[in-house]
Chain A
C-alpha cells in the first residue's frame, strides 16, 4: 500500500514537472489562432521576448523571437511595450494553457514576422 502510494505520487510529480516545461515542439500548428488586445507585460529578453496580452477575457502569454531578430525586423522594445495594441497570429501551446508562439504580430498597422 505504502509502496503504491509512493509510486503514484512519484509518477504525479514527474508528469507535473514534464507539463511545467515545454519546448518548441509543443505548439499545435494545425490550429492557428489570433490573439488581439493591449500588451499587459513585456519582457524584451533572450532567448526569446515574451509579452502578455489581454484578449477576450483572458491573459495570453505570447512567445516572440530572440531580441536581435526582433530588432532586425523592426519589432523593437518600444513596438512591443506595455499598453500597445497588438494582434498576434500563431500557434497555441499544447502544454500550457493560454500560451502561444507567434508567427507574426501586427502593431499600429505594421506586421512583423517572427520567424
Chain B
C-alpha cells in the first residue's frame, strides 16, 4: 500500500475483490494479456477509422467502413476497461499516485471527449459522404487527435512500470 494515496484507492486495494485478484495465480496475468489483446484490436480499428477521417482509404464509403470498425473498437474498448479495472484494483493505491498512470487517465478522458465531439458535430456530415469525397476539416481534426491521443495512452500505459 502506498502512503498518502487517496482513501478511496487505498480502500479499493484493501478490498476482498482486489485481494482475490492478487492471490490468484492466473487472474492478474490473464487480465494483463486480455488488456494487451484488447489494445491491439482497438488500435487496429481506431487506425482504420482515423485514416479514413484523414482522407485515406478514399475508395470506400465512410459510413459503411466506419460502422464496421466502430463495433470492433467499441468491443475492444469494453475489453480494455474490464481488464483494466482488474489490473487497477490490485494496485490501486500505487497507481493513483503514479505519474504515468495519472497522465494516461487524463489522456483516456481526452480521447473519450474527442469521440463525443466527433459524434455530435462531425459524424452526420461524414456519413453522408460518397466514396472519394473530400473530408470536412472537423473530421480531419478528430482523426489526427484520435491517433495522437490513443498512441500516447498506450505509451503511458507501458510507462507505468518505470515511474
Given contacts A17-B97, A66-B29, A67-B25, whether A23 and B163 have CB atoms under 8 Å apart is yes
Considering only CB atoms and an 8 Å cut-off, how many residues of chain B contact the other chain?
Answer: 25
Q: Number of residue pairs across A and B with beta carbons under 8 Å?
A: 53
Query: Is A9 an interface residue, CB under 8 A from the partner?
Result: no
- Which of B2, B3, B24, B162 interacts with A24 by CB under 8 Å? B162
A20 near B3: Cβ-Cβ < 8 Å: yes
The answer on a CB contact under 8 Å between A18 and B99 is yes
Chain A residues touching B, range: 10 to 19
A21 touching B97 in the complex, CB below 8 Å, given contacts A45-B22, A46-B22, A71-B25: yes
A57 close to chain B: CB less than 8 A: no
Scan residues 9-67 of chain A and give those whose CB is less than 8 A from a CB of chain B: 16-18, 20-25, 43-47, 66-67
What's the Cα separation between A21 and B161 when bound, in Å?
10
List chain A positions with a Cβ less than 8 A from chain B.
16-18, 20-25, 43-47, 66-68, 71
Is the beta-carbon distance between B163 and A21 smaller than 8 angstroms? yes
A46 to B13, CA, bound (A): 12
Q: Interface residues of A: mostly helix, strand, loop or mixed?
A: loop
Other A-B pairs beyond A21-B98, A46-B29, 8, CB < 8 Å:
A20-B3, A20-B4, A20-B97, A23-B160, A23-B161, A46-B22, A47-B91, A68-B29
Asked whether B94 is an interface residue with its Cβ less than 8 Å from the other chain, the reply is: yes
The answer to whether A45 touches B23, judged by C-beta atoms less than 8 angstroms apart, is yes
Closest to B29 in A: A68
Please name all residues of chain A whose beta carbon is closer than 8 Å to the beta carbon of B98 when the two chains form the complex.
21, 23
By beta carbon, the residue of chain A nearest B31 is A46
| Contact between chains at A47 and B97 (CB < 8 Å) | no
Are B29 and A25 closer than 8 Å at their CB atoms? no
List of A residues within 8 angstroms of B118 by Cβ: none
Partner of A47, one of B4, B19, B26, B28: B28
Contacts of A22 in B (CB 8 A): 163
Q: Are A21 and B90 in contact (CB under 8 A)?
A: no
Could you say which residues of chain A place their CB within 8 Å of the CB of B91? 47
> Beta-carbon contacts of B55-93 to A below 8 Å, as 1s and 0s?
000000000000000000000000000000000001100
List the B side residues contacting A18 at CB < 8 Å: 97, 99, 163
B25 neighbours in A (Cβ, 8 Å): 46, 67-68, 71
Query: Within the assembled complex, what's the spacing in Å between the Cα atoms of A71 and B25?
Result: 9
Name the residue on A nearest B97 (C-beta): A17
Q: Are B5 and A20 in contact (CB under 8 A)?
A: yes
